[in-house]
Amino acid sequence: MSERILRVNSEIQKAISYIIQNEIKNPKIRGLITVTKVDTTADLDQSKIYLSIFEEDTREEVFNQIKHSAGFIRRELAKAVDLRKVPFLT
């Protein structure tokens, strides 16, 4: 993996972590959520985001709410990270 992709992954990880913790106003997204890893393709077309959700009893619901908010997260990511092309998030 190139140095550029590693830097992009790091920036995306920091930005998405901030967005999930501070920008999403959905009350169903609660608890300790950590972005553990980001894998971005070389052409910056897609990023696979790996999450760790601490609360086991609401893990599935929180994960589904975050998946539902992927468009909002991508839009906020475009504002936070200086990239020509913002990857789709999965």
Distance CA 23, CA 78 (A): 14
Residue type, 80: A
* pLDDT-derived band at 27, boundaries 50, 70, 90: confident
Looking at the predicted structure, is the pLDDT value of residue 28 above 90? no
Looking at the predicted structure, is the pLDDT value of residue 14 above 90? yes
Tens of pLDDT, residues 37-89: 999 999 999 999 999 999 888 889 999 999 999 999 999 999 999 888 899 99
Residues found in the chain? 90
40, containing H or E segment = strand 33-40
Distance CA 34, CA 61 (A): 16
Looking at the predicted structure, is the pLDDT value of residue 30 above 80? no
pTM of the model: 0.90
Q: Which residues of 18-55 are buried (b: 16+ CB within 10 A; e: fewer)?
A: ebbeeebeeeebeeebebeebebeeebeebebebebee
3-state secondary structure of 87: coil
Contact present, 47 and 40 (Cβ < 8 Å)? yes
